[in-house]
Amino acid sequence: MSRSSRDYLLIVPTALVLVALFAGPAFAEDEGQGAFVAQKCNMCHSVPQAELVAKVKSEKMKGPDLPAVARDSEWLTQFLKREIQNEGQEHKKEYTGTDEELQAIAAWLAKLDVPAQ
Ligand code: HEC
């Protein structure tokens, strides 16, 4: 075996470990994603960017994929608390989590809401 290919055998696994170590936290579940799942938003909403798929089978229950449209966090907070309506409709489910979780969810959705590549 030539010297360079042996080096390669060492470098690749080392690089993979380093990538996993450094990239890990960035890709790890976001606080907002954790809250989204904890609050069971993923029952009714898919989030394709995060590979979350809505669990309900019924199309009537299901909400739009999120982040559907750019919504600022104030709108989202008020809408989920049913203080405001969306095109004359209240949100399907009243929010019962904490304000901190709701903020984390809103920030997470805003972060994901980037134009498709
Ligand atoms: C029981 C099913 C259900 C659950 C659980 C649920 N939603 Fe919804 N959601 C809907 C439906 C249906 C709509 C669309 C009709 C409406 O506005 O109520 C909707 C609409 C929305 C919209 C507006 C989308 C848009 O821009 O038009 C947002 C944002 C949203 N939901 C976020 C959430 C978040 C965050 C959670 C978790 C805290 C959650 N939803 C939990 C069913 C659900």
What confidence tens digit (pLDDT) does each residue in 37-70 have? 999 999 999 999 999 999 999 998 999 999 877 6
Å from CA of 91 to ligand 1 middle: 6
Apex 104 CA angle, 34 and 27, nearest 5: 50
Is the CB of 44 within 6 Å of ligand 1? yes
- Ordered domains of the chain (ranges, CATH): 29-112 (1.10.760.10)
Q: Which two tokens stand for residue 53?
A: 């798929």
For ligand 1, the distance from its centroid to the CA atom of residue 26, given in whole angstroms, is: 26
What is the average pLDDT score of the chain? 83
**61 ligand 1 Cβ < 6 A:** yes
Return the higher-pLDDT residue of 85 and 2. Answer: 85
Which stretch of 26-30, 64-68, 111-115 has the lowest confidence by average pLDDT? 26-30
Write out the two tokens for 9.
Answer: 């055998």
